Every structure is written in C-alpha cells, then in structure tokens.
Amino acid sequence: MIKPLFWENDRLFIVDQTLLPVEYKRIEIKNHLDMAGAIKRLVIRGAPAIGIAAAAGLIVGLKPFINSTSGLFFEKLNEISILLNGTRPTAVNLSWALNRMKTVAESMKNQPVPDIWDRLYREALAIHREDIEMCQAIGRHGQSIIPEKANILTHCNTGGLATGGLGTALGVIITAQQLGKDIHVYVDETRPLLQGARLTAWELSEEKVPHTLICDNMAAYIMSTRKIDAVIVGADRIAANGDAANKIGTYGLAVLANYHNVPFYMAAPSSTIDPNIQSGQQIIIEERNGNEVRNVFGTQIAPFTSPAISPAFDVTTNELICGIITEKGVFRKPYYFS
C-alpha cells in the first residue's frame, strides 16, 4: 500500500497523487509553502490525509525557528497555521489537526522553544498514527453492514492514499475482502478530477478486490439493473445533525440510493466530525477553477469560451444517510454529534 506521506531520516515526503496511477513520484516537502501548494493542487488530498499533511507542514515550516525567541516562534506558528488552514475550506480535518497542534504548543508556552518543536513533531506523528488506528477500527465496525456476499458502489477515493492507514469507506471494503467476504465494487470515476478512476480503481487492483469502473452517470442504471447491497462513501465534514459534505456527486448518489432502496453509508474518523456546526448549510464548499471541467488532465474537451463551474463537494442531508461508520461504531439516524 502506498503511503501518501512519510518521513525518511527527518525529511518529509509526499507522493504526487495527480500523477497516479501512471507515474509514481515522491516529492520532498522542505517548508510550509511546499505543503500549502501541494494541498491546494491535490498532490495530497482526502480529508484525513490533508489533516496529517497540515500538521507535518507546520513542523517543517517551524524548523528554521527552532532557535528563535518564543515570541517569534509563536508568531510563525500562527502565520503558518493560517496559511495551511486556508488551502482548502471544506474538510474539517485540516483545522482539527492544526488546532490540536496549537493547543499542544500553547500548553508549553513557557518552555524552551526546541522542546516545544520536538513535542509538536511527536504530536504530528501521533495524529498520523491515530489515523491509522481509526481506519482499522472503521474497517472492523463497518463489517456489521457488509453481508458475506456484497455488491458495493463507491465514489471518489477513500483508501490509503486519502488517509494515514487503510482508508475509511475503502477500508471497510478492503477489510471485508480480507475477512474472506465475496465483494465486488462499482467504482464511480468521479469527475472532474477522476479520483475514483485513477486512485480507487488502482488501490482496489493492488488489493485484488474485484471491481468495475463506471462513469458517474451510470450509477442510476446500475442501481436499477443490478442488486447493489450498499453505497459506501467517505466524508469531508460532518455537521452535528449528520449532514455531511463529500466529493461532488455524493448527494446525487444518496438520492439515487434512497430511491432504489439501497442503504447509503458514510465512513469517517471522528476528526471529520465538526460538532461546532449544526447543519450542512454551514459547510463551506470549495469552488475550484472551471478549467477542471473544460479539460481532462490537460486535454481540452470543451470550448474555452463556455463558462464552467467546479464545486469540489456537495452536502448530503442526514435523512438520506442510513448510517455513519466511525472508529467508535456505526451511528444511526437521528444523528446528534457533540
């Protein structure tokens, strides 16, 4: 399994996910600007992975200030956190990880700066390690909703590339396969950036999970002509009432699944739950450049003159979500996250 981010002899690397599966290229992240650019360009992406990346980016960004005054160190911590937090607005894991780092730093305010940096480094590693554990627990809890023989439909990429570990929705699926269940997965290609086709199909191939790639607009046909046992997707931010943002197209899938009586599940670690917002209406949806729609990986497919929009996420309302699989278990409607 490819790790999206790793440390090697105190150097930080990420794998360029924009090139996968055609090319494997690792990139060294030398400072916070490298990391901010990588998160923005989706070189590293997926809600849990960008939380892990933000914490690691803060570490490399603060390293040059390890021998500076406490005042300057905290000034830089603030500045770098704001920069990293501003890279992508929808996934809450980003601010969750940065707030966690900040809380640790503030609890050591009167201690020597090198000790604070060292503790922050260990916190960034802990955020990564805990995500691996949360993925494993999500994979285990998710088994209660997967029959021994199952046809599952998924959207976007929620595997090892999007997290620190095995993945969330894909973690549930891969765990089912590892436990000997007879699994087949329909994979939405996930336009505009094709995370399903490029990353999920590739990860399922690597894990030898039988799967079939479909265009996003085939999902209704598949649900009406084949027996689909469940739709399982990830999430980028889950509000207190269970409304949840995920990759654009998820809401449509949830509507389709409900129409066809197919149970629709989301899988996410608790770092994706934002109890500070009451409903999905408060979730900020990232608007990306319309060129992502006019082009497919550098190839123009529409007139430059045609206006195009690229909202990266949509919000699925809680009544459409049959269950939310977290590391603490499977939550059911009505949802009250605190």
Instruction: Give CA–CA dist 108/128, Å, rounded.
Output: 21
Q: Please tell me whether residue 195 binds ligand MRU under the rule CB under 6 A.
A: yes
Strands of the chain, DSSP E: 5-8, 11-15, 26-29, 149-154, 182-188, 211-214, 230-233, 237-239, 244-247, 264-267, 273-274, 287-288, 295-296, 299-300, 310-311, 313-316, 323-326, 329-331
Q: In angstroms, what CA-CA distances link 156 with 66, 104, 258, 276? A: 39, 33, 19, 26
Residues 6+ apart with CB under 8 A from 100: 55, 123, 127
110: its two tokens:
């009167």
Residue 274 annotated in active site: no
* 42 backbone φψ class: left, alpha, beta (φ>0; ψ -120 to 50): left
Q: Please tell me whether residue 247 binds ligand MRU under the rule CB under 6 A.
A: yes
Q: Please tell me whether residue 312 binds ligand MRU under the rule CB under 6 A.
A: yes
Residues 6+ apart with CB under 8 A from 83: 32, 33, 36
Q: Site for ligand MRU (CB under 6 A): which residue of 168, 271, 316, 318?
A: 168
Least separation in angstroms between residue 233's CB and ligand MRU is: 6
Among the listed ranges 24-32, 102-110, 142-150, 155-163, the one in contact with ligand MRU (CB under 6 A) is 155-163
Using CB atoms within 10 A of its CB, is residue 62 exposed (0-12), middle (13-18) or buried (19+)?
buried
* CA angle, 327 then 159 then 208, to 5°: 115
Binding letters toward ligand MRU, positions 63-102, x by CB under 6 A: ----------------------------x-----------
Least separation in angstroms between residue 270's CB and ligand MRU is: 13
Task: Tell me which of 34, 131, 188, 236 is the catalytic residue.
Answer: 236
- Closer to ligand MRU by Cβ: residue 297 or 304: 297
Q: Please tell me whether residue 183 binds ligand MRU under the rule CB under 6 A.
A: no
Q: Please tell me whether residue 237 binds ligand MRU under the rule CB under 6 A.
A: no
- Closer to ligand MRU by Cβ: residue 50 or 113: 50
Least separation in angstroms between residue 236's CB and ligand MRU is: 5
| 189 SS3 class | coil
Q: Please tell me whether residue 46 binds ligand MRU under the rule CB under 6 A.
A: yes
Q: Please tell me whether residue 128 binds ligand MRU under the rule CB under 6 A.
A: no
Q: Are strands 287-288 and 310-311 parallel, antiparallel or unpaired?
A: antiparallel
Instruction: Give CA–CA dist 81/192, Å, rounded.
Output: 29
Among the listed ranges 4-12, 72-80, 114-122, 229-237, the one in contact with ligand MRU (CB under 6 A) is 229-237
Task: Give yes or no for a contact between 146 and 230, defined as CB atoms under 8 angstroms apart.
Answer: yes
Among the listed ranges 96-104, 158-166, 206-214, 302-310, the one in contact with ligand MRU (CB under 6 A) is 158-166
Instruction: Give CA–CA dist 214/202, Å, rounded.
Output: 14
Q: Which has the closest alpha carbon to 80: 121, 135, 36?
A: 36
- Closer to ligand MRU by Cβ: residue 124 or 245: 245
- Closer to ligand MRU by Cβ: residue 113 or 127: 127
Among the listed ranges 68-76, 137-145, 154-162, 180-188, the one in contact with ligand MRU (CB under 6 A) is 154-162
Least separation in angstroms between residue 157's CB and ligand MRU is: 6
Q: Site for ligand MRU (CB under 6 A): which residue of 234, 242, 280, 323?
A: 234
Among the listed ranges 42-50, 125-133, 301-309, 318-326, the one in contact with ligand MRU (CB under 6 A) is 42-50
CB-hemisphere CA count at 13 Å for 125?
Answer: 10
- What residues line the site for ligand MRU (CB under 6 A)? 42, 45-48, 91, 156, 158, 162-163, 168, 195, 234-236, 246-247, 312
Active site residues per annotation: 236
